[in-house]
Structure 1
Amino acid sequence: MTRSHAVAHVPMPARIPSEAHADEGVRLLWTSGWDSTFQLLRLLLLHRLPVTPYYLEDDTRASTATELDAIARITEALHAQYPHTRALLRPLRRFRVAELEPDAAIAAALRDVRTRMYIGSQYAWLPMFCKQQGVDGIEMSVHVDDKVQALLSSRVVAFEQAGTYRSVRVAPAHAATPEYALFRYFSFPLFSIDKRAMDREARLAGWGPLMEMTWFCHRPLRGKPCGVCAPCVYTIEEGLAWRVPRTRRALSFVYRLFARPLKPPLRVAWTTLRGIRT
């Protein structure tokens, strides 16, 4: 797979044909980030399963080009180091968030969840994509220390994926909840592992150089992680601070000490103001 092939844009069809799903193997949301790349390596190198990666392009995210470049570089390195992955790793299926149709039920579910725990807007457009495209069971790399993992921890049931490894998904018993409305389309193979354990497993398996090619920052500055966006903060707090440059770590410390505590009350005030205006 050449770099241009790896990142080719797939125009959003009315619906992905069901026969296309049959040959996709394991479907995985792949952002080039630490968690989804770790799961990709497990699937390709440990379980040797065919994988179709999906990437949803958010036009508001400054890191899109950087993420796609990282996906292309990791793909090329995989093919060079592990030739069998040429057959297993299917072309990236890339879609644009801007092409999704609004969904009132999913938007309402996100608002409901946010009254108890703030989660990002991607947890509206990801299920909208799955619902509108008929995609079910796609893997999302939610892990220990992730807010979504805490949100769903009492609502999941385990199952065996592809007859090979354990995963979990939201149990049908919770079908009446907003959590089910948002996360019913996904499975969570990393639900019981944290970033540090991923790091240990990857290094023991010899995947360290591939993992170091991953990208996570949403607002890169001069090609380096910014230190203050949500993924940078989580990377530092979840034990991988070495991935953020030293000077940006210092900036992140100041941000987390002084600015970050102001975000929840400001968010509540903004939501309240919007409610008054409408």
Structure 2
Amino acid sequence: MNDPASEGVRLLWTSGWDSTFQLLRLLLVHRLPVTPYYLEDPTRASTPTELAAIARITDAVHAQYPHTRALLRPLRRFRVADLAPDAGIADALREVRTRMYIGSQYAWLPMFCKQHGVDGIEMSVHVDDKVQALLSSRVVAFQQTGAYRSVRVAPGQAGTPEHTLFRYFSFPLFSIDKRAMETEARLAGWGALMEMTWFCHRPLRGKPCGACAPCIYTIEEGLAWRVPRARRALSFVYRTFARPLKPPLRQALASLRGNRA
């Protein structure tokens, strides 16, 4: 693993709205060196699209703001499939899911950090995010590199499943939502760069599907314009009739697994 001091701010960057917004803040507002990290999930059909978006955004940022060539380090890519299972992290995710469903990435992200010795990497959790609600009473504030406010899970939470899953991360966007990001980006002149971001996990013919979790969150959190109109109609049907059935099905499956155990 590279020397943390030489990497500057470590940031999980997916090419999505939130992590790209934080990248631009770091490079253009705080003018800090940044090393972006990307974990390749073989189950996610959007991986090639996300990597292409990262390349386009990088080229555009370098062209528009030449000073960023010296600040933005090369993307560091890792494969989720190369991670070793971790029973403690798996148990922590299982415990959290009895109270709130969060995605499987919240198992392999801490596994990656633990196995690669990464600590303090930035995760772009924001207002309206499930993880923000999960951690809202469990974080403490601090000054990142003396430049801006961020939060992390409080040391006093040690021993909790939340600490096990999120101890390796800091959350610089913990108090801002997507619409506030949109406003700030527009005022700063980053609108065109933000429109290059990608979020859909199951793209259809190069467009957002409207039904995967990131598409739904994008619509519900105030950025519905990013999903094509026809897919928004499909999303409405899905959210109205199919999505409400998922929580009870998950609860039934969790109960069944618990009985078997």
Please give the residue correspondences for 1:247-262 in structure 2 after superposition, counting only pairs within 5 Å: 247-262=230-245
Figure out how many residues of one structure are paired with residues of the other and give that number: 261
Give the superposition deviation at 1:277. Answer: 4.8
Q: How many angstroms apart in 1 are the aligned matches of 2:30 and 2:58? A: 17
Q: How many angstroms apart in 2 are the aligned matches of 1:176 and 1:59? A: 31
Q: Which residue of 2 aligns with 1:38?
A: 21
Q: Which amino acid aligns with 2:175?
A: S
Please give the residue correspondences for 1:221-240 in structure 2 after superposition, counting only pairs within 5 Å: 221-240=204-223
Q: Which residue of 1 aligns with 2:49?
A: 66
Please give the residue correspondences for 1:82-101 in structure 2 after superposition, counting only pairs within 5 Å: 82-101=65-84
Q: Percent identity of the aligned residues?
A: 85
What is the root-mean-square deviation of aligned Cα atoms in Å?
Answer: 0.9
Q: Which amino acid aligns with 1:245?
A: P
Give the superposition deviation at 1:54. Answer: 0.1
Q: Does 1:263 align with 2:246?
A: yes
Please give the residue correspondences for 1:146-225 in structure 2 after superposition, counting only pairs within 5 Å: 146-225=129-208
Q: How many angstroms apart in 1 are the aligned matches of 2:230 and 2:253? A: 32
- Specify every segment of 5 or more residues in structure 1 that has no aligned partner in the other structure, as ranges: 1-15
Give the superposition deviation at 1:86. Answer: 0.4
Q: Which amino acid aligns with 2:68?
A: T
Q: Which residue of 1 aligns with 2:31?
A: 48
Q: Which amino acid aligns with 2:116?
A: Q
Secondary structure of the corresponding residue to residue 77 of structure 2: strand
Q: How many angstroms apart in 1 are the aligned matches of 2:253 and 2:164? A: 25
- Choose which of 78, 95, 101 in structure 1 pairs with 2:61: 78
- For residues 245-264 of structure 1, the C-alpha deviation after alignment (integer angstroms, 9 at most, x for no partner) is 00000000000000000001
Q: How many angstroms apart in 2 are the aligned matches of 1:78 and 1:201? A: 17
- Specify every segment of 5 or more residues in structure 2 that has no aligned partner in the other structure, as ranges: none
Q: Which residue of 2 aligns with 1:26?
A: 9
Give the superposition deviation at 1:243. Answer: 0.2
Secondary structure of the corresponding residue to residue 84 of structure 1: helix
Q: Does 1:124 align with 2:107?
A: yes
TM-score by length of 1: 0.92
Q: Which amino acid aligns with 1:49?
A: L
Secondary structure of the corresponding residue to residue 119 of structure 2: coil
Give the superposition deviation at 1:270. Answer: 2.2
Q: How many angstroms apart in 2 are the aligned matches of 1:270 and 1:144? A: 29
Q: Which amino acid aligns with 2:34?
A: V
Q: How many angstroms apart in 2 are the aligned matches of 1:276 and 1:153? A: 31
Secondary structure of the corresponding residue to residue 70 of structure 2: helix
Secondary structure of the corresponding residue to residue 39 of structure 1: helix
- For residues 227-254 of structure 1, the C-alpha deviation after alignment (integer angstroms, 9 at most, x for no partner) is 0000000000000000000000000000
Give the superposition deviation at 1:265. Answer: 1.0
Give the superposition deviation at 1:266. Answer: 1.1
Q: How many angstroms apart in 1 are the aligned matches of 2:21 and 2:38? A: 16
Q: How many angstroms apart in 2 are the aligned matches of 1:22 and 1:238? A: 35
- For residues 121-151 of structure 1, the C-alpha deviation after alignment (integer angstroms, 9 at most, x for no partner) is 0000000000001100000000000000000
